[in-house]
Structures are given as structure tokens and as C-alpha cells.
Structure 1
């Protein structure tokens, strides 16, 4: 009788009722502005001091079908970020750029065709699907930053004994909360600085970018795209859902939780802030982490948002047979078309 389950369920329902009541009292524009401000507050946007980019080229390697640069750049509060920039080989004109954000695993190398030690991986791709490689093959300049807490950006304790694939999410998130900073907020701000860097490159066409995120990388992509209108086309893979159906239903990594979010929004409300800009959702029907039933709930709500914004044709989705994994068979051509339309002004 002392289990808190029923009270927690009632708490969710009471917050849901409050949100719906407030939305009924507002215009669509007022709701949108309130949600954007709420998201910015939850992410503590502006709390951390923005640094100079001061990019440094660390290496430049010729691969079979692309050039691979390794750079580092400044973001906020003294953090420096290593990143790969993949450039189509032999392309002389400027190219559209895509920010590729990896999920939980061994970091930026995992989606860039490399093993954890940086050696080239010529075998079959894992669940991450090497989507940075797939995107550069389609003519994009692709930037793959090392998200803090993974790969080379783990805390020293996680780097001991040659461990591969673990993360520093728990420790980083816990410690940052003591300063009033969320790990998601830091990651979103670093993604925005990555966009700042991309748009300084002379080989990048236009003043906007595409974004492709998988799992935890899609969380960052969704919030960054919601707040940063330079992101014109976004692919969210193995993440779109509801909070209740995903991170409140199963035990997830702490980096998924956004302070105060349910006071003003459910997850589909936040993803809806991307409208009327182009959005594609890709998710596996057998994904236990982000279950398809509540992915479909999110898609239905987003259809309504895009219809109201007069942009129904800019929302796409692909529910494929698969688990928590990348399937870009429809997402890759969609992103090519969406960015082509953006750069041509259509």
C-alpha cells in the first residue's frame, strides 16, 4: 500500500491537465513562444559562457570516397570538442552541411566508419549504421562532434583499463546538476556551436544545415532544431516518442531527463517546435527502448502540428522492421531532397 505508483500516475495526469488547460487559453503563437522559452529554460541556454571557436585542424586523412578531417573547437565554459569532418572527395563546388550526432556507444568514430581506436572499420556496420559515412557518400559535408561523456570525452575514471563503449553520463549529469546545469543543456549548446563552426567553412553552401541524430543524438538534434532555426531539415532516428511511453516507462540513461519539462510540455510538443521546417522520423517497430506504440502517438500529434503550420508535406516518417538501430533507407534520400529544396529556396 506504500508503493508510489498510483501517486506518480496521478501526478503525471494532473500536470497533463494543467498543460492542456493552459493551451486552451492561449493562441497557437502564444503556446509556441511559451514552449520555446520553457525548453530554453530547462536547457539553461545562456547560463554557460560562450567561448571563441578557435578551430584547429589536427589531421587530414584521405579515405576511399571522402576526405576525413579531425578538428577541435571551443564551445562553452572552456570545453574543447574534437570532431570529424567528412568531405566528399573530388567535389569542387560548395556542399550542403549536415551535423551528425551519435548515440550511446563509443562516440564519433562509431558512425564514421572507424573502430574505437580510430582504425578504419571495413566490416559490416553495427546498430549505428555508419550514417555519417552514408551521408558523405550522398554529397554532404558531415560534421561528427564527440558528444561530451562518450569516446575521448569521458571522465578519466571511465578511460581506465582500456574500456570501450561506456559513458560518463551518470557522473557528468549528477555533478552538473549541482551547478544548476543539465547534461542535455550542455550538449545542445555544444551542438549549436558546432553549427556555428560549420557555417564558417568556405566549402559549406548556404547559411543553414541539416541534422541527423540517433537515439541520444536524436534527443540533442530535436532540442537543437527546436531552438535554432538554422537547422532546416532534421532526421530523428530511434527517439521520437512521449516521455511517458519511453523514459518514464523503462529505466533510461539520466541524460534523457530534462528538468521541469512536464510542467509545460510532453515530448511531441517540443518536437512540434521544429515545424514548419522539415522533419523526418525513423524508428524500428521492435524498438523496446522507444516503443513503436507511443512513437505512433507522437507522429499523429506532429501531423496535426505540421498541418496547422501549412507544412504537412515537410513531415515524413518511416517505421521499419528493426530494433533500436539506424535504418536510413528512406531517411537518407529524404534528407538529400529536403536540403536541396532548402538551398534552392523552394
Structure 2
């Protein structure tokens, strides 16, 4: 037996998931009509996600607007039925008035809950030192800005438990917060301490969400759909030409949002594609509680959640030396998705590329992603 996350129980647990197609996999011979299959499979995902009610189209308040680096930028916030207000940035080329194709840009996890939108969007030359280092994942670029410069409207919002939506230390009992203080949230020392606390707090958050009758992916999906509602409601956005994408935690959110919402006309998942078996046996220790949906693996593999969007255009970008996954399972996920899109008569609308190097979304990968958006959202 090879070493695995749960030792002697690994082969048994892996056998529950099995090697063949799960019960609701489109690869099974009994599913022939992609629309009929999607209706059944998506309902099962909804049942497992237990997504909370998060209101209707958010009423966004404009904090301020300005121009930077050739872009018109709006700093927004909106209030969901629970938690602190969500801060967001809307970017588009300055001086443009016609309806534009749009992308909901989903920020990553990165072990850094102190930041959200600022991980991938930039509004001045004055970058926080922590964000300068974080840009290493992106080849030193703010990819939301780079995409907006190509003629897109781009919306970036803080995800649940990140940045403006983070857990405030003062709202916690001492037994949880211990000696942690939040006096200067921009201090590098406090950011480091908060991120360490937030990583440990994830298990408490996940348990509490289960007790509330929901799941972390369910909350993500619900809140990301509210951001999508807002983006599609804007007069300067062509709601029929909207995509989404992101790296790592943003790739995870892409899997659920693009897999479950037909308004996403084009999707790009970066550095977040594998199988349940990979998590179970090898890589659960490198990932957060934000991924898992109890009960779903018997019906759909992780990669097949994204496959629920077939035949809509879908791009997956992987890194060959990504420590978050094993290469054989990344390739196995690619084979599954390829089979799903081929069976849906949409082989040309699915692409998976592997790049040398570790976990990242650098300029060559961004170039491929942006060209994919151009192909499907601009034509």
C-alpha cells in the first residue's frame, strides 16, 4: 500500500468513490441527452450544496470613481442579508460607452484572507508590500487590469471570509481569538498574524456552516451569483457575453459558478483541477475546507462539476509542478472533461493546457486565457 492521507483506510475509502464514472456522470451510457442530464445532475449538486439565501440583485453603492492606467475604475460596495458589506472594483477602458463583454474575475485564496480584490486588481502605483509579493503568482501583473485593457468590463469582489468580508477579531470570544488584536489591519505583522489565525479558523467556520445547514462552496456560489447578478444588470455590460475565471481559490469558485450558472458564456479555471480521489488520498492536506460537498462524490467527480456547463466554452490551465495536486490525477481530470465535452458534441469548446513550473497564473497563461475570452466573448 502506498502512503496516503488516511493510512490503512485509504484503499477502502478510495474504493467507495471507485474508478469508474460516478452515478450521475455524463460519461455513463444511460445519459444521452446533455440537457436532460444537466437538469438532473445540477439538481443533485444544489441539494448537496445547500446554498443559503443571499438576496436578489445587490444594490451597489458607488464609493468613488477615478481613472488609472488607462482604465475607468469604480470602487463599490453592497450589503447582502448577512455579514459586513462586500467591497468590489469595476474596471473598463476609459472613455468607452458601449456595452462591453464582461468577466467576473475571482480572486484566489493564497493563505491570505486579509486581502481579496487587491490580489488581482490594482488602483494605484502604491501596492501594499504583501501584495507585491503576492503578484509572484501572476508574473508581477494585476490580471484584472490587464484584461480590462483588452476591452472588457471586469468586476472583482471580496469573497466570503476575505478582506471586507473577513471575520473580525472583535466579534469573536477570547477562547477563539486568543491574544490576536486588530489595531492596524494594514500592518505586515498584523496581516501575518491574522492570516495564521484565519487558516486555523477555517475548520471552525466549516463546522459552523454545517451546523447551520449549509456548506462553504454553497456560500461561495450564492455570493458569486449575486456579484454576477450585479455585473449583468449594468447598462455598460452585454449580459449575453459574460465570462468568469480565476486561479486556485478563484479556480475553485469558477468550477462551481461556471458549472451551475448558464449566464457564464465562457470560463477559465486555473490551477484548481483534479479529482476527488486526488484530494482523498494525496492532497487534502494542501487544501482548505472551501472545496468539499458531503455526498456529492458518489454522483459526480470534482472535475465533472465544471463539466455541467458543456457544451459552453471551457478552458482549464494547469501547472506541471503544482504541489497542490498530483500530475496523474490532473491528467485524469482532463480525460474526464474531454470525454464529457466530446459526448456533448462540443470537443472544440473544451481545452486543457499544461505549463511548466509551480502553482501560478503568469503572463503566458494569461495570454492563453485572454485569447480564449476573445474567441468566445468578442466574436
Aligned equivalent of 1:330: 368
Counterpart position of 2:312: 277
Q: Distance in 2 between matches of 1:159 and 1:220?
A: 30
Is residue 48–residue 77 contact of structure 1 (8 Å, CA) maintained in 2? no
> Contact conserved, 1:237 with 1:282, CA < 8 A, in 2?
yes
Q: Kindly tell me the number of residue pairs found equivalent between the two proteins.
A: 337
Partner secondary structure for residue 27 of structure 1: coil
Q: CA deviation at 1:293?
A: 2.5
| Rounded Cα–Cα distance in structure 1 between residues aligned with 2:352 and 2:21 | 27
Name stretches of at least 5 consecutive residues in structure 2 with no aligned partner.
170-179
1:290 partnered with 2:294: no
Bigger CA drift: 99-108 or 75-84? 75-84
The separation in 1 between residues aligned to 2:371 and 2:220, in whole angstroms, is 27
The one-character-per-residue Cα deviations of 1:49-77 (angstroms, maximum 9, x if unpaired) are 52452211111121012122111124454
Q: Give the direction of change, closer, same or farther, for the CA distance of 1:17–1:247 in structure 2 (3 Å limit).
A: closer
Say which structure is richer in helix. 2
Counterpart of 2:136? Answer: 126
2-structure distance, mates of 1:260, 1:143: 33
The equivalent of 1:310 in structure 2 is 345
Which residue of 143, 146, 155 maps to 1:143?
Answer: 155
Q: Which residue of 1 aligns with 2:48?
A: 42
Please, which of 200, 207, 211 is the counterpart of residue 244 of structure 2?
Answer: 211
CA contact (8 A) 1:149 1:169 kept: no
User: Are residues 1:54 and 2:92 paired?
Assistant: no
Alignment of 1:1-346 (within 5 A): 5-16=7-18, 20=22, 24=28, 26-29=30-33, 31-45=37-51, 47-51=52-56, 53-77=58-82, 80-104=85-109, 105=112, 106-113=115-122, 125-128=135-138, 129-157=141-169, 160=182, 162=185, 163-164=190-191, 166=195, 167=198, 169-246=202-279, 248-250=281-283, 251=285, 252-326=287-361, 327-341=365-379
Moved more, 243-252 or 233-242: 243-252
CA shift for structure 1 position 103:
0.7
Counterpart-to-counterpart distance in 2, 1:220 and 1:234? 11
TM-score by length of 2: 0.80
CA contact (8 A) 2:313 2:376 kept: yes
Question: What's the C-alpha RMSD, in Å, of the aligned pairs?
Answer: 2.7
Shift of 1:102: 0.6
Give the number of the structure with larger relative contact order, counting CA–CA contacts within 8 Å between residues 6 or more apart.
2
